[in-house]
Amino acid sequence: MARYFDVHPVNPQSRSIRQAADIIRGGGLIAYPTDSCYALGAQLGNAEAKERIVRIRHLDDKHHFTLMCKDFAQLGQFVHLDNAVFRAVRAATPGRYTFILPATGEVPRKMLHPKKRTVGARIPSHPVVQALLAELGEPMLTSTLLLPGQQDPPSNGWEIKEELDHELDAVIDAGDCGLEPTTVIDYSDGTPVVVRVGAGDPTPFE
């Protein structure tokens, strides 16, 4: 059964955040709120947790996993950004965007797109995930919690706990955080391509 943490959406209880971070460090897979919708998260480099996400979501090998980063300093360690891309990404973060970018050698090979050597990256504004990332001290491997056959992700932690109780190690519930996943911008080749329109305004990248 998954541990259940009911936290305040603006000022999450530090004890709960520490316990959730310990579960991630111990190899666990969690569901947590973001500024777009709920997501699945695990420690960077945890290949077993990555495969659990693949099973839960029925993903194929073309899926881009995402690094959830606390800030730009952290993001810059794991992706390559030329000056133009840096300015564009900086203007849109923190926020409800995921950027597909060339990865540095700091990203474990198994976390990369198998053909493009790219990875998704984003910086969220939600206080709960910001607190969790601060506690971890490193990015979190993540993927939108969108289940097979469903058009929208679950919007409440208790729903996730009921549905995925035996698939997860923990659920952080901070109330309803929305149904729209991030807008995804592909910067693999240095030019923005909007590949998914979601919660973030795609206009600056069109």
User: How many CB atoms are closer than 10 A to CB 102?
Assistant: 19
> pLDDT-based confidence at 133, cuts 50/70/90?
very high
Question: Can you give the pLDDT at residue 70?
Answer: 97
For residue 25, pLDDT beyond 80: yes
Helix (H) or strand (E) run with residue 200 in it? none
Per-residue model confidence (pLDDT) at position 40: 98
pTM: 0.94
What pLDDT score was predicted for residue 195?
95
- pLDDT at residue number 69: 97
Q: Does the pLDDT of residue 12 top 80, yes or no? A: yes
Residue 87, pLDDT score: 95
Which residues, 6 or more positions from 98, have their beta carbon under 8 angstroms from its beta carbon?
66, 120, 121, 122, 182, 183, 184, 185
Helix (H, G, I), strand (E, B) or coil at 20: helix
Greater pLDDT, 62 or 194: 194
Ordered by where they begin, the domains of the chain are: 3-205 (3.90.870.10)
Q: Does 114 have pLDDT greater than 80?
A: no
pLDDT at residue 139 above 90? yes
Residue 170: which of 24, 14, 37 has the closest Cα?
24
Q: What is the predicted pLDDT for the residue at 109?
A: 87
Which pLDDT does position 74 carry in this prediction?
93
Predicted confidence (pLDDT) per residue in 171-206, tens digit: 999 998 888 999 999 999 999 999 999 999 999 998
